[in-house]
Amino acid sequence: TVTNDGDADLTFGDVALDGADTDQFAISSDSCANATVAPTGSCTTAVSMQPDSSGAKTASLTYTDNASNSPQSIALTGTGVAPAPPPPTVTPTPTVAPTPTVTPTPTVTPTPTSSLPWPLSELCAVDSCAGVDLAGVDLAGLDLTSIDFSGANLSGADLTGADLTGANLTDANLSGANLSGAVLTSALIEGADLSNAILDEALLQGIGTPTAETTAQSTPSGIIHDVDMRSASLRRADLRFVQLNGVSLSKANLRRAKLTGAELSDSDLRGANLSRAKLRRAKITDSTLANALLRRTQLRRADMAQLDMRHAKVRGALLKGSSLTEVTLDRSSLIKTSMDQARVTRVTFRNSHLVATSLSAGSLERVTLRHATIKEFRLDGSTVRQVAADEPKSVRSSSARNIAANRKTWKRLKHFGFTMGPAQGKG
């Protein structure tokens, strides 16, 4: 009896006798030949011995199937006994041949086949790479959808253009890995280390969620939570409408990254490069952007609150219609920046440089400009309330000079101590 103890179908071909004395044995019945036996199933082959001479007889019963160790053979042994010589007066009685001895039938177990692409099929278990050391491995361009890499070491691995849709990267080490152009839709990355990783032009929409559908701008298309992405390169990465919470992006390169509608909270972007990044309608709260570079960054209608932006360099940025609440911009520089129609509330610009910057038709309330250098700062049509500035409060002699504002705005500024010097026009 042959039993399939594996987890895959066992398909038989021929069942045959082989060996020195094949003519001394015969297959009397067989249900295995050309049969398919499901897991836990069995089939039976019956063998009889038909010796035509005395002495030991040997043969083998051979099975051909789809198991990795095919063919399998079962040894057959038996002893033929010649008839005893007849007595002189008695008719001889024939001697019955003994029943042949057959060794126990072995269990045939098919070798499991890995569903993983090479080289993972050689390095991981049948269907999981959880906790496996894959440092520096080349997985560029491979289909890695839904593979479990949780806790795996992928530091320095090449995942360029790989499809990681639905992959589990929870707590994985991806430091220094190259994920340029990789697809991470619906991948789970909570607790992962992506420091110094390269994610240029990677698709991150839907990351951290079971599906990647975005039905409205208020619905996050993905979630990145508690992930270390320090010094990572995310140039042109697609993070539209993705929610980033507790993410470390200090000194990360987000140049030209797509962050439209994204939500960043409790995150560290110190020294990050956000030049030409698209943050339209983004929401950035309870985070630090100290020393960040925002050159020609698009922040139109962005909601920015409780931010530390000390020493930030904002040049040529577009913040039209945006909202800045409780933002610290001390010792920062805003040069050639458009803040028209913006709402600026409880913002400090101590020792900052505001040059060729416009805040027309907006609002400036509870703002501190002490020791700020202000040149060519337009406030046409803006509402100005409770502005703290320096002494002496003369437009010409103080650091606040060349402010272009209409009469209504100037009237409000004069209420807070600003005066129009001889060199100041009325704008």
How many residues would you count in the chain? 427
Q: How confident is the model at residue 193 (pLDDT cuts 50, 70, 90)?
A: very high
The pLDDT of residue 211: 40
Query: Residue 225, Cβ neighbours under 10 Å: how many?
Result: 14
Given this model, what pLDDT does residue 1 score?
82
Residue 71 pLDDT class (50, 70, 90 cuts): confident
**Top-confidence range, 113-117, 143-147, 289-293:** 289-293
CA dist 159 and 175 (Å) reads 12
Q: What pLDDT, in 10s, does the model give residues 310-320?
A: 999 999 999 99
Give the residue-averaged pLDDT of 28-32: 84
Q: What is the mean pLDDT of residues 267-283?
A: 97
Q: Is a pLDDT exceeding 50 seen at residue 29?
A: yes
pLDDT for 347 beyond 90? yes
What is d(CA 110, CA 11) in angstroms, rounded to the nearest whole number? 10
At CA 347, angle to CA 346 and CA 353, rounded to 5?
155
> Which carries the bigger pLDDT value, residue 98 or residue 115?
115
- Tell me what pLDDT residue 404 has: 60
Q: Indicate the pTM of the whole model.
A: 0.65
User: Residues 356-362: what's their mean pLDDT?
Assistant: 89
Q: Is 361 exposed, middle or buried (0-12, 13-18, 19+ CB in 10 A)?
A: middle
Angstrom distances, CA of residue 206 to CA of 139, 238, 243: 22, 10, 10
Asked if residue 6 lies in contact with residue 109, where contact means CB atoms within 8 angstroms, the answer is yes
Instruction: Specify the higher pLDDT residue, 331 or 116.
Output: 331
Over residues 119-140, mean pLDDT? 87
Spatial neighbors of 252 by CB under 8 A, at least 6 apart, are 229, 230, 231, 232, 233, 234, 269, 272, 273
The domains found in the chain, sorted by start residue, are 2-102 (2.60.40.10), 115-286 (2.160.20), 299-427 (2.160.20.80)
pLDDT of residue 395: 37
What is the rounded average pLDDT of the residues 183-190? 89
Label residue 418 by pLDDT band (50, 70, 90).
low
Q: 23-37, 181-195, 276-290: lowest mean pLDDT where?
A: 23-37
pLDDT of 400: 45
> Average pLDDT for residues 349-359, to the nearest whole number?
90
Higher pLDDT, residue 219 or 75:
75
Q: 161 forms bridges with which residues in the sheet?
A: none
- Higher-confidence position of 115 and 145: 145
The mean of the pLDDT values for the chain is: 82
Q: What is the pLDDT of residue 207?
A: 85
Residue scoring higher pLDDT (376 or 131): 131
Q: When comparing pLDDT for 411 and 190, which is higher?
A: 190
Which token pair is 199? Answer: 């994610």
Please, what is the Cα angle at 266 between 257 and 274, to 5 degrees?
Answer: 25
Residue 120, sorted as left (phi over 0), alpha (psi -120 to 50) or beta, turns out to be alpha
- What mean pLDDT do residues 79-107 have? 57
Is residue 362's pLDDT more than 60?
yes
